[in-house]
Structure 1
Amino acid sequence: MKCIVGLGNPGKKYEKTRHNVGFMTIDGIAARHNWELSKVKFKGQYTMEQYEGEKVILLKPQTFMNLSGESIRPLMEYYNLELEDLLVIYDDMDLPTGKIRLRQKGGHGGHNGVRNTIDQLGTKEFNRIRIGIGRPTTNISVIDYVLGEFPKEELGNVDESIQKCADACEAWIKGESFMEVMNKYNQSV
């Protein structure tokens, strides 16, 4: 069983913000397969589906970003999932908008949702895909920037990165090791 988690904030107000690109990716994967995140449990919205002979959970924590791990940990425990079967997708200001980077472990890089996930899981050793949202080019605060929407001229790059993430997730679900997926998709960005 594989568990793919997109980080974001719940509610219409945050739907299209930079900080919600993890949620957008989960929605993109679900849309590809006509899956619906109709289950509500573990402080999250999720679905469990079958794809290429593998059970797949898609999860959008509904705790707000800074408490994401409070949704991920109980789901992992309930389904007795191993860390290598977890993939967390989130925004990263250190990457240009639309670029993606896959990693098998690492720190939180100042991202509070990842920090809480590390704290809740007790480890930095989990798969992740970071999606670039760039840095502000004006004097806007970091909080206002990440909670702002992507400008129209960036939407093409954002959609392309979401599609690449979905492709990478599908390759992983189909049985490629995360290292193989990482090598393939880190080179293509």
Structure 2
Amino acid sequence: MKCIVGLGNPGVKYESTRHNIGFMVIDELVTRNNFQLNKDKFKGKYAIETINGEKILLLKPQTYMNLSGESLRPLMDYFNIDLEDVLIIYDDLDLPPGKIRLRQKGGHGGHNGIRSIIDHLGTKDFKRIRIGIGRPTNSQPVVDYVLGTFPDDQQSMVQESVEKAADACVRWLETPFEEVMNEFNNKE
């Protein structure tokens, strides 16, 4: 079983914020396939479904971003999910809005959700899709920026990046991740 994890913060207050773009990708997959995140355990909301004959677990940790690993680790242990079958989706300040980047491993880059996952998994070697949110252009603190919403003029490119990330997830279900990486990292 493959596990696709979208990072974000729970609650209506954070729903459309930059930091919740990982949740948005899970929502896109749920909507496309008429699924429901109807299980509530392991400090997360999840569903176990099938796409193209591949059994998948879709997870939205409900721990708040900085504690994401507290949801993922016990869930992986319970369902005996191998690290190679996990894909994490999250926001990235260093990519412009609309861009996505797939990687097979890496550091946390200052992202506290990824830091928590690295701490709980004991490794940096997990697949990820980073989705660009850009950096603040004024003196706005980063915390306020990531917890803010996308401006109207970025909405269509953000939606496009969410759809591209969801496409990459589905592609990974039937194609080695390295090939998916080459395909989507070269799409511009």
TM-score w.r.t. the length of structure 1 is 0.99
Please give the secondary structure, in 2, of the residue aligned with 1:134. coil
Unaligned runs of at least 5 residues, structure 2 = none
Q: State the identity %.
A: 65
State the number of aligned residues.
Answer: 188
Unaligned runs of at least 5 residues, structure 1 = none
Shift of 1:112: 0.2
Describe the superposition over 1:36-89 as per-residue Cα deviations: whole angstroms up to 9, x where unpaired.
101000000000001111111100000000000000001110111111100000
Equivalences for 1:132-147 in 2 at 5 Å? 132-147=132-147
Residue in 2 aligned with 1:108? 108
Shift of 1:152: 0.6
Residue in 2 aligned with 1:56? 56
| Residues 1:181 and 2:180 are matched in the alignment | yes
Give me the whole-angstrom Cα distance separating, in 1, the residues matched to 2:23 and 2:164.
15
Equivalences for 1:11-160 in 2 at 5 Å? 11-160=11-160
Q: Pairwise CA RMSD of aligned residues?
A: 0.5
Please give the secondary structure, in 2, of the residue aligned with 1:91. strand
Describe the superposition over 1:131-169 as per-residue Cα deviations: whole angstroms up to 9, x where unpaired.
000000111100000000000100101000011011100
Give me the whole-angstrom Cα distance separating, in 1, the residues matched to 2:51 and 2:186.
26
Please give the secondary structure, in 2, of the residue aligned with 1:8. coil
One-letter code aligned to 1:75: L
Residue in 2 aligned with 1:164? 164
Give me the whole-angstrom Cα distance separating, in 2, the residues matched to 1:51 and 1:9.
26
Please give the secondary structure, in 2, of the residue aligned with 1:148. coil
Give me the whole-angstrom Cα distance separating, in 2, the residues matched to 1:84 and 1:121.
12
